[in-house]
Structure 1
């Protein structure tokens, strides 16, 4: 099982767009963002589509096409980004119901759901306290 990088790449894209706009550019292309993230522009476009639906970015078509922030980085939290790109719960139950006649099979899902609910609540609390402005400032302060 591999780790999911959607939150990281989406946060990268938002911080990059924010910095790019501060440098005087109106819009950024998915190709430019993809180059910074070292990924395919299609991956970036899909994530930016999710971020657009969440009201975090805007897109422009035609001449001067590209992406821009819909809000200031300081008003976006990592929770906003997480909710935009990570639909559904963090952890899932079995794909098929376990054997209800088995003592473990009968009790495992309620026990694990309580644990997962606590983890999800803690995750959301931590993500809500960090803005994308915090992320960008920490990135800029990181020595090369």
Structure 2
């Protein structure tokens, strides 16, 4: 069974902390809040930096957003840490029997459905900004 990735939720958690308290956001501080190893957080922060969402202060610690929280969507974050060819939301099993009418056609039929589901999820993520989410976090 494929294990579900938690990179996206950890990245949202990380960016939310950076937005709220940038000077305190060392890898250790974030890792304590997320309750994970600092190495995991440094890896995620590297992905966020590569995507142009954050800058990390070397030596003195802390990080800051490179865009306004109102300009960062959940889709931006998802794409920064989750989207790779191997890590799609859905996958289709290999080597179906071409002798079987289902096996012969399942990939083509299912591919369209899965593509539409992926697009719907991405549209939903694109409609929420980090700022909107942050307002819900500090009720």
Unpaired segments ≥5 residues, structure 2? none
Runs of 4+ more than 3 Å apart: none
Deviation of the 1:3 alpha carbon: 2.9
CA positional deviation for 1:97: 2.4
Structure 2 residue aligned with 1:53: 50
More deviation, 70-79/1-10: 1-10
In structure 1, distance between residues paired with 2:37 and 2:70: 27
Distance apart, 1:107 and its partner CA: 1.0
State TM-score, norm by structure 1.
Answer: 0.87
Partners of 1:3 and 1:139 lie apart in 2 by 24
The answer to whether structure 1 residue 77 and structure 2 residue 73 are counterparts is yes
Residue 93 of structure 1 corresponds to which residue in structure 2?
92
Once the two structures are superposed, residues 94-121 of structure 1 have per-residue CA deviations (whole angstroms, 9 ceiling, x without a partner) of: 2x32111211111111111111111011
Q: Is the 8 A contact 1:17 1:68 kept in 2?
A: yes
